[in-house]
Amino acid sequence: MNRSSHFANISGLAYKPFNDKLTEKLKKLGYKKIKYLNKDGAQAMILTNNTEQVLAFRGTQPKELNDIAADLKSWKMKSKTDGEVHDGFYDEVEKLWADIIPLISATKPLFITGHSLGGAMATIAASRLEKQTECLYTFGSPRVGNKKFIDHVLVKHYRWRNNNDLVPTVPFFIMGFRHHGTFCYLNSYGKLRNGMSLWQRFKDKMRGHWQAIKKFELADGFRDHGIAHYIKHTKNSNL
């Protein structure tokens, strides 16, 4: 399994109930030490094996009012590093931060990951743990901060977007929010296609909408956001 697929899988598992069944699944992935964090609706997992550690944030749960409230707090506030970040995403990270710091080892490479809201939280966490972070993997992440914040996050970052996934389009560019990282675009056939022109991207998006309509799935932007698509389609990448 390549690294992007591996971390997409972990980001998906972060949505599961934190219980013995999940622990067994994570142990099968090779993680011997597992710590679950859950505070006021914000959740994360810290996983450790002999060679690395992983910080994985849980994304938006549509039935969790706390998550919806976090997504809607789209004004900017001062980051703890540089620039400004989305207030709701900042607040979710803050809930867990005091518990995260003592659990991060300074001697093992750190990988940070998350899907949706979890991807936004992962980006903020990576900006604070820049020296320890080996790589950041996010899937369907919204924009997180302003240009100054993005320009000062010096972390290797693979930012995945699946075709018509709507979440990466918010908060809007016109509001001063920007994306960070190496853009990894999954086209309507589930293939990694970077370097496409605007016209090629437009045609591919229309193709994705048409594929959804043929299956009577009208909300393609929401359908494409599901973590299952990222888990499935990153399997063939080499990132």
**Count of structural domains, the chain:** 1
- For the segment 15-59, what is each residue's pLDDT rounded down to a tens digit? 999 999 999 999 999 999 999 999 999 999 999 999 999 999 999
> Residue 203 has what pLDDT?
94
Cα 111 to Cα 16, 44, 132, 176: the distances in Å are 20, 13, 9, 28
More confident residue, 210 or 161: 161
Give pTM, 2 decimals.
0.94
Summarize pLDDT for 82-123 with one digit per residue, the tens: 999 999 999 999 999 999 999 999 999 999 999 999 999 999
**Amino acid found at 109:** P
Q: How far is it, in rounded angstroms, from Cα 102 to Cα 100?
A: 6
Residue 5 has pLDDT above 80, yes or no: yes
Give the model's confidence band at 165: pLDDT under 50 very low, under 70 low, under 90 confident, else very high. Answer: very high
Q: What is the CATH number of the domain that holds 32?
A: 3.40.50.1820
Residue 137: which domain range?
3-236
Polymer length of the chain: 239
Give me the pLDDT at residue 208, please.
86
pLDDT per residue over 179-209, tens digit each? 999 999 999 999 999 888 889 989 998 998 8
**CB neighbours of 32 closer than 8 A, spacing ≥ 6?**
48, 49, 50
Dist CA 213 CA 3 (whole Å): 33
